[in-house]
DNA sequence: CGCAATTGTGTACAGTCGTGCACTGAATGT
DNA sequence: ACATTCAGTGCACGACTGTACACAATTGCG
């Protein structure tokens, strides 16, 4: 009942370029490693959740034999860590682009940033799908790795906030807290954007509007907010 | 190598009371059905993610034979829907309690509500673990069910907001948007609270403080916020 | 040049999975 | 009282899984 490809070694995933020659061994290795990562992402795109992916499933999609997996990762979690690392780079790129977009004097910085974000989410659909589901779903290892990456992202954003006049007199911890709120809102919006049907620009525009309003409220609240004296330790500010 | 329980039919999960007699047939059925649900929750508590749970796994934990599962659910997703329904009830209880807690004139309504919420999350640990991971992780069916339940919760909260003087002059859609932000923040906080080590009251207090501050910012922003004219359709308010 | 290292292959095994089918025994409706 | 319904059992099957082991081929270092 199943097609049972009779052992043709080629026809791998998609090596992006038809090249498999003139490459050093390490280059070849990194290439199939990348194809494993891509295979996992592709399966996520098909609706499978990363946690439930199996080694055989991934290697089949990547066009290699199951055992080859172990030449690159000890288990699926390690592959997940590779995906997390990729997400880290993506987030850094996003922040950089948002920064230079914001540098040009803009009438509506927030809205512009939201558009950049939205474009990024759509462009890196599978990656955001991955982190959305594994952020509180999968193995503990993966969760802490993602959380670490996200908090790093939050810190960078906090540094950007420091340069903005409305928030420059807040303590680092408070900036972190505020950016945490912003990031939470952003990450929560991602899966909703991804679940949207492709051919419904109205819904999308409506969602964007809601998203912009929410962030505006957060920023407005943050600008008007003054920390109260009673902190948790309450020993600060003697 | 495995213990191979030699077919003792009893020793089911934990029927909560040692009773299995003096019950009508439908009562017995609902009882094992409940034990299936409990089994799934228990497995979630062990660190497994619901999506990756198998029928055999669940029935084994529940102390019934695999086939018995089909007398209650057609597949694991249907069991998930039962869990979602339970979450709905839990959320409604939460809102009711927060409401009556808030009715007493309180110097700090928000902080009190946060404490109620925190207590609820801890009390219904497994349920919140479930929704946190399946909200953007599992099958589409489950996701939309959860999202539906959450939006219902948001609506109820919006109605409560309507009675508060600071927000009573906002449109329903705007209230929904604001409460959506609040709910997002709440739901994002849940998994972090649950991942916290039990014996670290300092960390927990710190997290609570951050959480309170974030919500305060949201509420402050919402109170000071006035919607701009350019809505998405822009045909309203002629 | 030649040998060691390493990437990917093929085969194999034990275990788990979902689920179909025939069955049992007790509660239920008449 | 009897026939029926039906929750739960037992067994079976085929498909799929992770991974251990031996092997092939080729690259890169001495």
Q: Is the CB of A9 under 7 A from strand D?
A: no
Is the pLDDT at B92 greater than 80, yes or no? yes
For chain B, give the percent of residues with pLDDT over 70: 86
B84 min Cα distance to partner chain A (Å): 16
B30 min Cα distance to partner chain A (Å): 29
In this prediction, residues A18-32 reach a mean pLDDT of 80
Q: Which residue has the tokens 């903005």?
A: A164
Q: How far is A163 from A165, CA to CA, in rounded Å?
A: 6
Output phi, psi for B7, to 5 deg.
Answer: 50, 55
Mean confidence (pLDDT) of chain A: 88
Q: Helix or strand or coil: residue A135?
A: coil
Is the pLDDT at A236 greater than 70, yes or no? no
Q: How far is A220 from A167, CA to CA, in rounded Å?
A: 10
Question: pLDDT value at position A1?
Answer: 33
In this prediction, residues B142-149 reach a mean pLDDT of 97
In this prediction, residues A41-59 reach a mean pLDDT of 97
Nearest to B59 by CA among B84, B28, B29, B32: B32
Name residues whose C-beta falls within 8 Å of residue A25's C-beta, 6 or more positions apart in sequence: none
Output phi, psi for A39, to 5 deg.
Answer: -60, -45
Residue B218, both tokens: 């949201």
Question: pLDDT value at position A105?
Answer: 66
Question: Can you give A151-192 as a three-state secondary structure string?
Answer: HHHHHHHHHHHHCCHHHCCCCHHHHHHHHHHHHHHHHHHHHH
The three-point CA angle B67-B11-B15 to 5° equals 85
Is the pLDDT at B180 greater than 90, yes or no? yes
Residue B161, both tokens: 């907001």
pLDDT in tens, A83-123: 999 999 999 999 999 998 877 666 789 999 999 999 999 99
Q: Which residue has the tokens 């739901």?
A: B187
In this prediction, residues A5-13 reach a mean pLDDT of 35
Distances (CA, A) of B199 to A141, A198, A204, B32: 21, 47, 44, 35
Q: How far is A6 from B113, CA to CA, in rounded Å?
A: 63
Residue B118, both tokens: 């925190």
The CATH superfamily label for domain B76-224 reads: Tetracycline Repressor, domain 2 (1.10.357.10)
Is the pLDDT at B147 greater than 50, yes or no? yes
Is the pLDDT at B160 greater than 90, yes or no? yes
B87 in Cβ contact with B145 (< 8 Å):
no
Strand D footprint nucleotides (protein C-beta < 7 Å): 6-12, 15-22, 27-28
Confidence of residue B207 (pLDDT cuts 50, 70, 90): very high
Distance of CA B71 to the CA centre of its chain: 26
Residue A86, both tokens: 């990729």
Residue bearing the bigger pLDDT, B238 or A92: A92
Q: Is the CB of A66 under 7 A from strand D?
A: yes
DSSP label at residue A63:
T
Contacts of B222 in chain A (CB under 8 A): 217, 221
Torsion of CA A217, A223, A228, A229, to 10 degrees: 150
Q: Which residue has the tokens 């959450």?
A: B150
Confidence of residue A237 (pLDDT cuts 50, 70, 90): very low
Distance A142 CA to D4 C1' (A): 54
B26 min Cα distance to partner chain A (Å): 35
* Residue in B181, B205, B231 nearest the CB of A214: B181
Is the pLDDT at B233 greater than 90, yes or no? no
Q: How many helices (H) and strands (E) does chain A have?
A: 8, 0
Question: pLDDT value at position B105?
Answer: 66
For chain A, give the percent of residues with pLDDT over 90: 79
Name residues whose C-beta falls within 8 Å of residue A169's C-beta, 6 or more positions apart in sequence: none
User: Measured CA to C1', what is the nucleotide nearest B70?
Assistant: C19
Residue B178, both tokens: 């604001």
Q: How far is B39 from A62, CA to CA, in rounded Å?
A: 36
Closest residue in B to A51 (Cα–Cα)? B52
Mean confidence (pLDDT) of chain B: 88
What does the domain layout of chain B look like in residue ranges?
1-74, 76-224
Q: Which residue has the tokens 């950007």?
A: A160
For chain B, give the percent of residues with pLDDT over 90: 79
Q: How far is B58 from B46, CA to CA, in rounded Å?
A: 12
| CB neighbours of residue B34 within 10 Å | 16
Say which CATH class B1-74 falls into.
mainly alpha
Say which CATH class A80-224 falls into.
mainly alpha
């Amino acid at each position: 009942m199943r097609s049972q490809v009779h052992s043709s070694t080629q026809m791998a995933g998609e090596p992006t370029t038809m090249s498999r020659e003139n490459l050093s061994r390490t280059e070849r290795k990194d290439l199939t490693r990348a194809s494993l990562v891509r295979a996992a992402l592709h399966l996520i795109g098909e609706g499978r959740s990363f946690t439930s992916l199996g080694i055989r499933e991934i290697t089949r999609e990547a066009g290699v034999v199951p055992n080859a997996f172990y030449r690159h990762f000890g288990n699926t979690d390690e592959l997940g860590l590779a995906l997390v690392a990729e997400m880290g780079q993506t987030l850094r790129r996003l922040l950089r682009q948002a920064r230079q977009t914001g540098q040009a004097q803009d009438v509506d910085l927030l809205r512009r940033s939201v558009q950049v974000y939205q474009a990024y989410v759509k462009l890196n659909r599978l990656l955001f799908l991955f982190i959305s589901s594994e952020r509180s779903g999968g193995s503990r290892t993966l969760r802490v790795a993602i959380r670490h990456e996200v908090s790093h992202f939050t810190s960078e954003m906090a540094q950007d906030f420091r340069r903005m006049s409305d928030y420059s007199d807040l303590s680092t911890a408070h900036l972190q807290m505020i950016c945490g709120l912003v990031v939470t809102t952003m990450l929560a919006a991602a899966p909703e954007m991804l679940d949207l049907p492709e051919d419904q620009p109205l819904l999308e525009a409506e969602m964007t509007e809601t998203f912009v309003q929410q962030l505006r409220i957060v920023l407005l609240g943050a600008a008007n907010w003054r920390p109260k004296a009673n902190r948790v330790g309450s020993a600060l500010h003697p």
